[in-house]
Structure formats: structure tokens, C-alpha cells
A and B are shown apart, each in its own frame.
Chain A
């Protein structure tokens, strides 16, 4: 179980780049998208051969198609990519196969691909008000979402997730509550409720820098932003969604197995440009350059064998993202040292300051700890 592998497939294409997006993604011609799928198949084959030599028997228990917008790929290319996955990896029968889609990008062919190969779909809705969608630079309407969502249900997808984004320019608490309630009424199994982070290099950053987010497009202040966060938890929990990570909520049994793998530091291989991999304590990245990738350059970038210390740090700062926090016994079985020996002083301080709480053999963030998660996590880095 511990040794099972996750696969991440990055599709760096979208219909139109959103104003807040700093992920590796851009619109591209169909020819480029097809060439990309070919390159990815070649990469999958190479990785499969390498795995067969280094670690045969390794099984795959999650696959995640992310982006970008994977649903802008021609459906037939995705069938081919999956063919390559099947030939090169042993994918478990009950593996979680997630695909990110955007409302308004689901044609008949894509739906048939999803029906055939995917068992979990994450829909990038972000907002339910036209105002929100417009300011984010989304290509779809709320109605588009409703019809896509229905189509996915009709296609038999029984594990659906919806992404929403709070703390948008001009967004009120009332709007946000409406967003949540509208989405709940569709009964997805999973909801990701992120806060807008204004990242450098995005149109949003430029707008922010020149002071455009003021007046009716003012960003919610920290107080309001926090209230939105608290309300999210209240509203979703009252509808049987449990917060299992800082911004992820799920009905019982529907937590994202693939995303948990990142927070629990279980192995994954990434395919496509910019994709990150972690395998047997070694981490690396793919090239971020599309041309290089299309020319068959799958060489590992920034390959690094994680030191014991780095793994301890990550155990803490990734594990603490989860509502369940980290386990003393797991730490000890990973590192052969007690968490209290390594981090005793800082744990004690955080417990005393009310940023962490302890229950049984786990420590986890308190509500205040969630508010200040970065400050808490940074303290687990060694000097």
C-alpha cells in the first residue's frame, strides 16, 4: 500500500488564460495539443520502462489529469494516453482516476472518454455569480456549469468535485454564502474552497499593483476573508462535508486520494511540462519549456535526494495541512526518532499558544492555527 504510486498528467492548455492563474498553461492550436499528447505518450513509455527495471511490481492507485484544462485536449488523444498508461503501468482496479474539467468544454466525445476511463471529475467553477466569473476571466457562465455538471452525472460519474474561490475583488460575504449554497444544492461529493492568492506575473497582480482593486472591486479585508473562511466550514459541515485539509471538504469516503498522497508524501510520477515527481525519496521536475518537451526532452530537472531532515520538515508542513494533522507513531516509524525529541520545543510552544491541539497520538492545527498556518509550518523548518 505504502509503495503504490500516483500518476499526475499535466495538460498545459486552456481556452483562455484566467486573470488570476499562475499555473503553467496557455491556449494552443490543436496541432500543438496533439503533438503534446504524442510527446506525453513517449514520456510515459520511457518512464514505464525505467520503473520496470528499478521497481517492478509497483502498482498505481491514483491518476490525476490536471492543468490547465485537460478537457480541451482532443478526446481521442486522451484515449491514446490512457492506452499508454495501461501498457506501461499496473493500474489497480479501484484506482482513483481524476480529471479536471472546465464548464463549457465538455463535448460528446469528451463525455464518452470520461465515461470510459475516469471515475472522479473536478469541475473548475470558481464562482456562481456572473460578476465573479467575469472578473476572474472565466470563459463560462453558471448555467454552463449546471449543464456540464448534469452531463457528468448522466455520464455516470459518481465522484464529483467543484472548485470555488473566495476573497475575490468585489465579493461580499453574502455572495460567497450564495456560491456555497448553490453548489451544495448540486450535491457534489467534494468541494475545494480556495482563497484567491494574487500571484506576481498575473494580470491580477498588475491590476492590484496599479490599485484597480478598490471601491466596488475592493478585496475583502482580512477580517472579512477570515469570516468567509469560518462560514465556509460552518455551512459545508452542516451539509455533511467534512474539512479534511485547509481548503478541501468531502462527504464521508470522498476525500481526494491523489491530493492526500501529496500531503502524506507518498510517491508520484508527473508527466508533461513542469510536472513534479517524488519517487523513493528523490524529487525532480520536468522541463517547463514546451518546445523542449515536444522535442523529446524528458530529462529530470533539479533532481534531489531528500535528506532525512528535509523529509522531517515536509512530514510536518505537509501533514499539518490536513485537519487530522500528523501522527507521532507515523513520524517515529518513518524516521526512527520521536517527534517530541526532534520538535519538542516548538510543539510545546505551539500547543501553549493554542495554534496546535493534541488528541491521542496526533497533533493538528486549531482554528487559530489554520488562520496562521504558514507561520506554524515555517517553524518546522530547521535552521
Chain B
């Protein structure tokens, strides 16, 4: 394939601006195969695929476009995850592209993620062509939005196609822009193999399917390849393209191509996103830049609600990790919750995705502890430890000082909500860095914030305080020294390890009282008074009491209807079974979960 006829690109957009609609529309308006491939009866292979019952939905697709100039172009539309948790994955996907189509909603204009994504694309030296979408809506104002793109982002937008991905209006103009404005790849097929892994998925039939962009060289069946970062060596079993909804095997992938390869790889960890594939016998001089080990940002304990299902949880995590190199876990033991795992995630969304999959796909009932960031503990002996579980905090006398991870957050908001968003950021210990008015009535606020303050519910709070108008993006900017303490929650004078957390010292009292209040509501009254306390070390800072039960009796005559009486008692007994014993206190199994669910009140 002539490289000049290839376009490797992605679509970038703020959420809901029409990225997937446009992608679907492009796929619909282009073809599956080149004319030559059709003659080569590629279709036969595909039928075979179908017979084997394998259909793989790769989010990245190759389509064929016959342009106005009469030539056939290969479009590789590379998918980028749309959430800050996956910034690294986004950056690797962008690295696989030569250009980007920027979609902006004609009714909304530029948003925080638009900016974030554009800057990321520009960082990767991608050519960016803007498209103004949703012009079919009555409130569309494409001229204003074009203006905004030029002023805010600084790219030429007056000529940008005005389209409606929904109706298909003018989408062909986008395809022509891709052909005419986005650059073709310029790799060298004669150089040693150098390919970038930008995604992979685990398939139980063929092992890991690696999605990659070949920068230089050629890869084909039988090529002995080496993953530079992990050092793993494999013999390629199959290479091919990602057609819409199916894989299309081919002879070889050459410089400039985007495709997949399989090599009976058993574990996804051995083919990490961002790693470089090279020829084991003729390696490239240096790996592609930008590779990073997957770095969990958020940790929490995950426990089976029914402790007998611990082995099931372990198996499920093992299976999920096959498909998710960023998921980390190690066994831990909690006196309150029994056996479980401390798990590391890229962010809260990632955490959500994993816990939901565990519950849905593996039918597990889980208790998760409060998510925590990784704190750096500088000990008096000069060593530094990364703290992922508050229970492991060393004695105060051994701690010189502690650091917490910080992020730089950009919040884009209409001017009427600037005040309330500033208040929110203040409340979350934000340090104001600046306001940049991008229009008369819209601004980007920049704050430095502790990551810990945004992992819980920052996004929800932001939405509710701006009536949904604020959007937000952030990037980690390292660690800073902070005044942190460990807060313990004691039930009937016993610390519940699952409820311990690290907190900014000046907020400890408030957080502690809130936890006590919430827990009080969750623990049913028992035969004796139960103190619930929040403590820092041995100092009690907040206290509530679950008063002893006064009354539990039915002074009513049911006559001979004993079954009704029995049902009532059985229900009571059943309720008892749902309790966990903490010391001699019975605590409902979901009490911790409910307490840990921190919401904007």
C-alpha cells in the first residue's frame, strides 16, 4: 500500500459533542475493503472468521474511502478513551495518529475537554482539522463557534465543515478534509521494525490481540517480535486490519499501517499500551518515546460481602487483569471485612468499571473501602514509603512528614457560575492559579488541587453547582507536603480498620463527625449503648451513641394466626443474619458501604 494513500487519525471532542455519531457516519459512508482486497477474496477469510464464531468489536477501524480525486484512501480511525482516568491511553492513541478531527458542538462551543484534547493532540504534533457539528439544531451558532475555535484554540476554523453527523449533512466534506488536510504517514519500510502498541484486548481463542501502528519496517506471520519494555519475545501468528465489527487478516503490516497482530500471548501485561514492538533478530535502535508503566492513582480495598466467596473474587480479579494491565491487586486482611484485596486503579471511573464488572460478570456482592490516593510517607530514618492502605501508616513518632499527590485542574465555566465553582475549589483546598476568559461569558479557571479532594465526588459537585455547565479536566503535577492525619473510626471502642482513612488535618473533625453521624444511622439499636467515635491516634475528636434498644414487642392479638407471628420473628432473625459481628456489636453488612458512599450533602 502506498503510504500517501493512508490517513491515520482520531476524532477528538468534548463529551456529547458527537464524536461517536460522526465516527459511525464515516464508517457508514466508506467501504470495508479495497478493490484489490476484494479480488484477493479476503471475504473468504472473513467467512471463516464467522464460522469460528469470533466477532471482535475493535473500536479502532479501518475503512476505505474513494475520494473526489478518484483515488482510494485507507482511513484508520483510531479510538481514544474519553476520560481523564485514561489520559495515558489517550496519549498513546494520539501517538499512533498523524492527524486529528476536532468536533465542536455548534450549540455549545469549546469546552474544557475540547481544550485538553486539542493541547494533547498538538503536543503530539498532530495536524488538527476542526468540524462544527450539530448545525441542524435550532440553537446552532456555527459562526460564533468558529470564532471561538480560532480565538481560544488558535487554529483556522472559518472554512471548517459545518455538518450534522446525525443527519449526515455535509459529512462528505469531512472525508475530503481528512484526505486533503491531514498528512500521510512517512515511515520507512526498509528500517528495522518499530511499531507502537496503542491498545490490546484479551480473546480466549487467540490470546492477546495487539493493536498497533507500524512506524517503520514490516511485520508478518512468522516474524519474531520483541516487546521492548517487557522484553517478551513472540512469533507472530497473524496480522491484519480492523474492519468495522470484524478483523480482516492480511499478509503483512508495513510502515504507516495501523492493524493488529496476534502471537499466542497469554497475558495482556506482556503487551503493554505504549510499548514498542520490534524485530527480535533485527531490533530498532531505540524504542518509541513516551512509554509509561501503568500507574494506579487510586486504591481501595475490595471485599466479598460473603467471605466464603473470597476465592471467587480472586479468580475474577485474575481474569480481569488478563484484559486490563492497569488493574493491580494484592491480598489483604481486614478484621472488619475479612479477606479481600487492595486494588489499584487509574482513577475513580476505572474503579467503578472494575467493581461493576466484578458484580455483573462474576456475580459478586462487594464491599469496597473508601478510595484513597497514594501518600508518600517520609520516615524519620530517611526512607520513603508509598502508602496505599491507611492501616499501614507507621507510628506518628516514625513519621518525619507526609506528602500527597496534586493535580492541576482546569474548569471551564460560564461566568455566572464562576463564584460557586471558586467556592467549591476553595472548599477542596484548591490553590487558585488564574482565570482565562475565552469569551465574554466563559472562562477557564485553573486551580492546583490535592488529588484526594477530587477523587470522591468533585465531578458531581461541579455539575450540581453549575447546573451542568461546568466542565473539567486535570493532570497530575507531582507531590506536595501536607498536613495529614489518620482518622480511625471506633465502634464500641474497637477500631474498624476498613473505615480508617487519611485526611487533611484541619478537615479531620468535620469528616470524623460526619462519619460518626452516618454510621450511627446504619447501626441498629442493640441491647446496650454503642459509642461510635472518631479518633486521631488516642485522641477522640467526635462521638455519637447508638442508644440501647428500648422496645421491640408486639402487644397485639393475632389470635390463632401463628404463621403471621412466625413470619415476623423469622424476618427479624433473617435481619440478624445480614449482620457482621464487630466485637459484640452487630453491624449490617452494607453499613460500611453506605458510610463510605460520600455524597455532596
Contact = CB atoms under 8 A, between A and B. Distances in A.
A207 interface: no
A282 interface: no
B58 to A, nearest CB: 52
Given A195-B555, A225-B551, A374 B560 contact: no
A247 interface: yes
A195 B554 CA distance: 8
A381 B570 contact: yes
A364 to B, nearest CB: 14
B570 A197 contact: no
A245 B233 CA distance: 82
Nearest to B527: A353
Interface residues of B, number: 23
Interface in B56-110: none
A325 B562 CA distance: 17
Interface of B: 527, 549-557, 559-563, 565-566, 568-570, 572-573, 576
A247 B559 contact: no
Interface majority SS (helix, strand, loop, mixed), chain B: loop
Contacts, number: 93
30 contacts: A66-B559, A193-B555, A197-B556, A222-B551, A223-B550, A225-B551, A246-B554, A246-B555, A247-B556, A247-B557, A259-B557, A262-B559, A262-B560, A276-B559, A276-B562, A276-B563, A277-B560, A313-B566, A314-B562, A317-B566, A317-B569, A370-B553, A371-B551, A372-B552, A373-B554, A374-B554, A378-B569, A378-B570, A378-B572, A381-B573
Contacts of B560: 8, 262, 268, 270, 275-278
Nearest to A199: B556
A98 to B, nearest CB: 11
B556 A374 contact: no
A374 B572 contact: yes
A229 interface: yes
Interface string A271-308: 00001111000010100000000000000001000000
B562 A371 contact: no
Given A378-B572, A378-B576, A317 B565 contact: yes
A374 B562 contact: no
Contact of B562 (A225, A262, A275, A353): A262
A194 interface: yes
Contacts of A222: 550-551
Nearest to B575: A378
Interface string A214-247: 0000000011011001000000000000000011
B418 to A, nearest CB: 39
A318 interface: yes
Contact of A371 (B552, B561, B565, B569): B552
Nearest to A261: B560
B563 A226 contact: no
B581 to A, nearest CB: 14
A157 interface: no
Q: Which 7 A-B pairs have the closest CB atoms?
A: A247-B555, A373-B553, A195-B555, A378-B572, A276-B560, A222-B550, A378-B569
Contact of A276 (B527, B552, B561): B561
A226 B551 contact: yes
Contact of B556 (A64, A194, A379): A194
